[in-house]
């Protein structure tokens, strides 16, 4: 990871700052939630500040928009996956499960779900499982996971997608196709 650069030495970041309202509106359209859109735009800003733009960026604003759009897609996919794995719960039940203060039945169901997910993930190659856990559970970016595992971000993306497909096909989770 490179050291953050000042906007004056990073032309893509300067364009990002100049067009931030446009990027926020686009993220809000894609996300449907202003607060989440603000978070995504801030994440995109941080990502751009900590990286070097690819050489030859002809349209910096379009590049910034693409970064924001890809982060929106990542957030929406993560939300969809969480809903698929956990299911839509009655309001308040999820909070009890997370805090571990729910009824014994909810706690048992939560443990069973985690055990099923663990069994499905154990059927994957170790590196694929590790990439999935680092990215989806611990929240590392695919670039961070790639650096940690010494592989390309394209391979990390493929491994995460493989793990998600395995989970959606897992009969123990009632998600087999």
Is 115 part of a structural domain of the chain? Answer: yes
**Distance (Å, whole) CA 61 – CA 57:** 10
Query: How far is the first Cα of the chain from the last one, in angstroms, to the nearest whole number?
Result: 40
Q: What pLDDT does 147 receive?
A: 93
Q: Among residues 63, 88, 113, which one ends one of the domains?
A: 88
Q: Among residues 59, 88, 117, which one ends one of the domains?
A: 88
Q: Among residues 54, 88, 122, which one ends one of the domains?
A: 88
Is 113 part of a structural domain of the chain? Answer: yes
Which residue range(s) make up the domain with 4? 1-88
Phi, psi of 64 (to 5 degrees): -60, -40
One domain for residues 29 and 72? yes
Is 125 part of a structural domain of the chain? Answer: yes
**Distance (Å, whole) CA 23 – CA 21:** 5
Strands (E), the chain: none
Q: What pLDDT does 24 receive?
A: 93
Chain-centroid distance of CA 3 in Å reads: 23
Asked if 64 and 19 count as a contact pair (C-beta separation under 8 A), the reply is yes
Residues in the chain: 177
DSSP 8-state symbol, 53: P
**Distance (Å, whole) CA 83 – CA 81:** 5
Per-residue pLDDT of the chain (177 residues; tens, 9 = 90+): 444 445 445 778 888 999 999 999 999 988 888 888 899 999 999 988 888 777 788 888 899 999 999 998 888 888 777 776 765 444 444 444 444 456 777 777 777 777 778 888 888 899 998 998 888 888 888 899 999 999 998 999 999 888 888 888 776 665 444
Is pTM beyond 0.75? Reply is: no
SS3 157: helix
Q: What pLDDT does 86 receive?
A: 65
CB atoms within 10 A of CB 116: 18
């Amino acid at each position: 990871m490179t050291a953050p650069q000042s906007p004056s030495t990073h032309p893509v970041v300067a364009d990002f700052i100049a067009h931030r309202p446009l990027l926020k509106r686009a993220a809000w359209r894609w996300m449907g939630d202003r607060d989440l859109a603000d978070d995504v735009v801030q994440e995109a800003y941080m990502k751009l500040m900590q990286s070097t733009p690819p050489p030859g960026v002809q349209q910096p604003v379009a590049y910034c928009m693409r970064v924001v759009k890809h982060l929106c897609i990542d957030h929406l996919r993560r939300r969809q996956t969480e809903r698929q794995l956990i299911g839509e719960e009655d309001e308040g039940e999820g909070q009890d499960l997370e805090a571990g203060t729910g009824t014994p039945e909810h706690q048992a169901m939560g443990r069973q779900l985690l055990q099923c997910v663990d069994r499905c993930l154990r059927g994957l190659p170790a590196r694929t499982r590790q990439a999935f856990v680092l990215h989806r559970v611990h929240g590392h970016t695919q670039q961070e996971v790639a650096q940690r595992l010494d592989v390309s971000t394209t391979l990390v993306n493929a491994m995460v997608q493989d793990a998600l497909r395995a989970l959606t096909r897992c009969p123990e989770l009632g998600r087999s196709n």
